């Protein structure tokens, strides 16, 4: 059957005309193939019109995917108890024979994986409506724009797309009769009624998320959790990394924020942190302006590095969002406006979550069902009131600190890049690198972090995660590092590179206050302009006590003692040397194509650490440098 006949069999006249108005046969054929495969009852095509946006929003409530809460515009979505995080084990690249991305990247042969997932998708939308959504990654009509279409049978996913991404129907008008766009096909699969009455994916054991890099297609089935199903997020991100590598730019797991400096100056920073390591909170520090909290594209424009937010919303971890530490987000979450809560506790139509700064009810409805304090699951694990990976989905422009430069088609000029992870015993709170190579390799390519509830698996285990991008890489680690190093060629005014650590502990207690990061970022801002002196050390440059004392008073109204400074900025040489050895061994044994410059830079750093240890001992106060 010709693709037009297939489309006519499932689309009414209005939706057929909307789809055929796009001058791209590849779009039409992709929808027709999905119809033949998934067998929906009907098809809705979302354009950029507000009426289509409203239809999706209302559908999410009427079909039970979301439930309205007491506050205007707020809804709650529940995923099943077994579908609460990204699923790395079942997220794989579909590769042709002979293609090797390295042992750390999960993949399967395309000849095996593609028939498997297409088989799981067969008939998956029977009796349901197929939703065809068009969006744009990056600002529309700009050098950053990537058109993306997603087909899904989940109104929750379609609603989330509308909050998280720019409308792209008009952008697809410019695609023409080509295939230079990303495609996503998702189905929840067979549904069942969850313990809390919500419709949830039934066959979680058959949850699969496969990515075809050759055809730029994501397939996802038998899952609802947004990290596995909102294909424009981390799934399309994998394809963007590959595209960037071929075209000479960078697709990064980074926030974008504007940090204030002296005289009313604003400097833009990007930053890469693994999940639940302070990434969103750094982008949202009070007094800063937010451009984006998660994904960014970096391009060379003349002698500058320009960056843009891939997204237009935030799918953020809600645990510990409270009025003291995250006032802008908390205000957005507790005032009328369109947003989706997921997997929090609901009591009498009001959402509650862990660490929100108030006592939680003793009972309510959550991701497990009808919950009461002290409940345990079948394995004897305590069920928290709200899941540790519970989320909120909002539009960035609804935040009080939204930066209008977010929509600048040229992006914003980067003054600095920040790398951080969870590190309880090794690095000082903030360090400036000696330059691009040193920062990228010893800070970005060497990130280790304790695991969190954002990913299925054990919590509290320290793992390697270069640039906080390892879960999403679509190329070998060595090729990725080489791409980063090559990107810097020809740019004389590169962004400064910094490493931060908010999780340093002593006797089990954090040495950093939650808002101390405001000071570390303000110090980095002034250093990015060549202001303030710094202490030269073996791993980079560190702040002077007098400068931090002044910044703590100005930024936080807080006295900063010499004792605080010594505890935070003492160099822990045994731990630093041990980390150096771990990282070097990892690249020697697990990455066959590591650039040789990496080992040279790491050897030079080790030599500096050993020299200082021989002269000063294991633990060296910053006053002794």
- Give pLDDT, residue 156: 98
Q: What are phi and psi of 208, to 5 degrees?
A: -140, 140
Domain co-membership, 293 together with 338: no
Distance linking the first and last C-alpha atoms of the chain? 76
Whether 71 is covered by a domain: the verdict is: no
- Tokens 């150096």 belong to 580
Average pLDDT for the chain: 94
- Give pLDDT, residue 276: 72
Whether 9 is covered by a domain: the verdict is: yes
Domain co-membership, 121 together with 99: yes
Q: Confidence class of residue 453 from pLDDT cuts 50, 70 and 90?
A: low
Domain co-membership, 352 together with 493: no
277 in active site:
yes
Whether 80 is covered by a domain: the verdict is: no
Q: What is the CATH number of the domain that holds 322?
A: 2.170.8.10
Catalytic hit among 38, 133, 136, 277 = 277
Q: Confidence class of residue 414 from pLDDT cuts 50, 70 and 90?
A: very high
Among 209, 224, 247, where does a domain finish?
Answer: 247
Domain co-membership, 408 together with 544: yes
d(CA 431, CA 429) in angstroms, rounded, equals 7
- Residue 291, pLDDT above cutoff 80: yes
For the chain, give the number of residues.
Answer: 625
Domain co-membership, 160 together with 13: yes
Q: What is the CATH number of the domain that holds 607?
A: 3.90.228.20
Among 195, 218, 247, where does a domain finish?
Answer: 247
d(CA 150, CA 288) in angstroms, rounded, equals 33
Please say whether the beta carbons of 159 and 194 come within 8 A.
Answer: no
Give me the number of domains the chain comprises.
3
- Give pLDDT, residue 452: 54
Domain co-membership, 461 together with 581: yes
Averaged over 542-562, what is the pLDDT? Answer: 97
Q: Confidence class of residue 236 from pLDDT cuts 50, 70 and 90?
A: very high
Given phi > 0 = left and psi -120 to 50 = alpha, else beta, which region is 138?
left
- Residue 95, pLDDT above cutoff 90: yes
DSSP string for 176-241: -SS--SEEEEEE--SEEE-TTS-EEES-GGG-EEEEETTTTEEEEES---HHHH-TTTHHHHHHHH
- Give pLDDT, residue 554: 96
- Residue 499, pLDDT above cutoff 80: yes
Q: Is the dihedral of CA 106, 110, 111, 112 positive or negative?
A: positive
CA-based nearest residue to 66, from 371, 393, 341: 341
CA-based nearest residue to 312, from 287, 288, 294, 324: 294
d(CA 152, CA 14) in angstroms, rounded, equals 19
Domain co-membership, 128 together with 147: yes
Whether 602 is covered by a domain: the verdict is: yes
Range of the domain at 485: 250-313+404-617
Domain co-membership, 416 together with 378: no
Whether 274 is covered by a domain: the verdict is: yes
Whether 70 is covered by a domain: the verdict is: no
Q: Confidence class of residue 102 from pLDDT cuts 50, 70 and 90?
A: confident
pLDDT digits (tens, 9 = 90+) for 507-531: 989 999 989 999 999 999 999 999 9
Domain co-membership, 270 together with 280: yes
d(CA 562, CA 567) in angstroms, rounded, equals 9
Among 230, 247, 264, where does a domain finish?
Answer: 247
Q: What is the CATH number of the domain that holds 113?
A: 3.40.449.10
- Residue 450, pLDDT above cutoff 80: no
Q: Confidence class of residue 196 from pLDDT cuts 50, 70 and 90?
A: confident
Averaged over 151-157, what is the pLDDT? Answer: 98
Least confident among 268-272, 337-341, 409-413, 454-458? 454-458
Q: Tell me the CA distances in angstroms from 124 to 132, 215, 230, one per residue in order.
A: 15, 22, 17
Domain co-membership, 482 together with 427: yes
Domain co-membership, 157 together with 203: yes
Averaged over 602-625, what is the pLDDT? Answer: 98
Whether 77 is covered by a domain: the verdict is: no
Averaged over 145-173, what is the pLDDT? Answer: 97
Averaged over 478-487, what is the pLDDT? Answer: 95
- Residue 456, pLDDT above cutoff 60: no
- Residue 367, pLDDT above cutoff 90: yes
Whether 212 is covered by a domain: the verdict is: yes
Domain co-membership, 423 together with 393: no
Q: Which helix (H) or strand (E) holds 39?
A: none
């Amino acid at each position: 059957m010709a693709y037009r006949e297939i489309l006519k069999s499932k689309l009414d006249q209005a939706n057929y005309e909307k789809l055929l108005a796009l001058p791209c046969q590849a779009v039409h054929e992709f929808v027709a193939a999905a119809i033949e495969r998934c067998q929906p009852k009907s098809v809705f095509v979302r354009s950029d019109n507000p009426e289509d946006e409203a239809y999706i929003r209302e559908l999410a409530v009427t079909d039970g995917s979301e439930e309205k809460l007491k506050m205007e515009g707020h809804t709650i979505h529940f995923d099943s108890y077994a579908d609460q995080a990204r699923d790395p084990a079942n997220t794989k690249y579909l590769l042709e024979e002979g293609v090797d991305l390295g042992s750390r990247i999960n993949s399967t042969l395309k000849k095996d994986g593609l028939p498997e997932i297409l088989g799981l998708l067969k008939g998956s939308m029977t009796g349901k409506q197929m939703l065809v959504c068009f969006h744009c990654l990056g600002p529309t009509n700009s050098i950053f724009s990537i058109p993306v279409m997603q087909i899904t049978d989940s109104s929750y996913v379609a609603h989330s797309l509308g909050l998280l991404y720019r409308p792209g129907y008009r952008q697809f008008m410019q695609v023409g009769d080509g295939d230079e766009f990303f495609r996503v096909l998702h189905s929840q699969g067979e549904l069942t009624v969850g313990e809390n009455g919500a419709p949830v994916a039934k066959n979680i054991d058959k949850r699969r998320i496969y990515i075809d890099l050759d055809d730029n297609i994501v397939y996802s089935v038998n899952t609802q959790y947004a990290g596995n199903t909102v294909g424009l997020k981390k799934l399309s991100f994998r394809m963007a990394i590959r595209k960037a590598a071929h075209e000479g730019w960078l697709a990064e797991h980074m926030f974008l924020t504007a940090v204030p400096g002296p005289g009313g100056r604003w400097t833009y920073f990007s930053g890469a942190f693994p999940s639940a390591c302070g990434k969103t909170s750094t982008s949202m520090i009070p007094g800063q302006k937010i451009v984006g909290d998660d994904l960014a594209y970096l391009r060379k424009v003349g002698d500058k590095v320009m960056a843009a937010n891939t997204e237009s919303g935030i799918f953020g971890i809600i645990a510990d969002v409270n009025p003291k530490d995250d006032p802008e987000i908390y205000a957005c979450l507790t005032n009328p406006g369109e947003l989706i809560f997921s997997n929090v506790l609901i009591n009498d139509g009001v959402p509650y979550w862990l660490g929100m700064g108030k006592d939680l009810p003793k009972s309510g409805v959550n991701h497990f069902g009808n919950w009461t304090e002290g409940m345990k699951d079948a394995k004897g694990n305590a069920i928290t009131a709200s899941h540790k990976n519970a989320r909120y989905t909002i539009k960035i422009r609804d935040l009080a600190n939204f930066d209008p430069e977010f929509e600048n088609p040229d992006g914003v000029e980067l003054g600095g890049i920040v790398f951080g992870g969870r590190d309880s015993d090794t690095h000082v709170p903030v360090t400036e690198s000696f330059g691009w190579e040193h920062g990228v390799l010893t800070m970005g390519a060497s990130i280790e972090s304790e695991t969190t509830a954002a990913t299925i698996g054990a919590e509290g285990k320290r793992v390697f995660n270069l640039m906080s991008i390892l879960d999403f890489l679509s190329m070998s680690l060595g090729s990725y590092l080489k791409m980063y190093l090559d990107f810097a060629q020809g740019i004389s005014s590169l962004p400064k590179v910094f490493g931060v650590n908010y999780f340093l502990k002593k006797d089990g207690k954090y040495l950093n206050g939650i808002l101390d990061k405001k000071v570390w970022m303000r110090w980095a801002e002034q250093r990015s302009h060549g202001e303030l002196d710094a202490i030269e050390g073996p791993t980079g440059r560190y702040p002077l006590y007098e400068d931090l004392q002044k910044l703590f008073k100005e930024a936080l109204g807080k006295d900063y003692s010499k004792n605080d400074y010594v505890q935070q900025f003492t160099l822990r040489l045994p731990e630093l040397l041990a980390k150096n050895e771990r990282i070097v061994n990892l690249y020697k044994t697990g990455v066959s194509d590591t650039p040789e410059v990496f080992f040279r830079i790491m050897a030079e750093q080790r030599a500096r650490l050993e020299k200082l240890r021989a002269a000063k001992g294991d633990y060296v106060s910053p006053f002794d440098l």
